[in-house]
Amino acid sequence: MNISPSKLNTFLMFKLPAAYFTGVRTKHLDDTTCVVSVKHRWVNQNPFKSMFWAVQGMAAELTTGALVMKKIKESGKKISMLVASNNATFTKKATGRITFTCKEGHKINEAITKAIETGEGQTVWINANGVNAEGIEVSSFNFEWTLKVKS
């Protein structure tokens, strides 16, 4: 089964309902890029009437995680994946529709290939940037993914 935006959104509904009910949705997924969108609404806002940082984090993590899942699936190997660390920077109030994009599929390819070749766990830092409807960056997230071939 191929991983597609609609299948990821269904996955959210059943496995990550907090992300689904706050409006996190996958819009695009290919070999190098994943795009996830979320709209500021009452259910996902903070007391300052902007999007809660954790909702932004769920959307950002999904952009990177979806690429990792797709690359693992394509490798044909059983590989475990886990976020070991993350950090974020918030530069503008998040209101309206926020679109998170990760364009670092090539980094994941390299890490998976190395994990398969060496049999050792690998780590890779992946970035996802969130922009508002005007194209202004509101937040930037970095996730350190650990990848290990299962024995």
User: Above 70 in pLDDT, residue 1?
Assistant: no
Indicate the number of domains in the chain: 1
Note the pLDDT of residue 104: 97
What percent of the chain lies above the pLDDT cut of 70? 99
Compute the average pLDDT of residues 126-146.
98
Note the pLDDT of residue 33: 97
User: Above 90 in pLDDT, residue 101?
Assistant: yes
Domain CATH code at residue 89: 3.10.129.10
Query: Helix-strand-coil percent breakdown of the chain, rounded to 5?
Result: 35, 35, 25
User: Above 60 in pLDDT, residue 88?
Assistant: yes
Rounded Cα–Cα distance for residues 20 and 12 (Å): 5
pTM of the model: 0.94
- Domain extent at residue 12: 5-149
DSSP string, 90-113: E-S---SEEEEEE--HHHHHHHHH
Rounded Cα–Cα distance for residues 12 and 137 (Å): 25
pLDDT digits (tens, 9 = 90+) for 61-85: 999 999 999 999 999 999 999 999 9
Rounded Cα–Cα distance for residues 95 and 6 (Å): 25
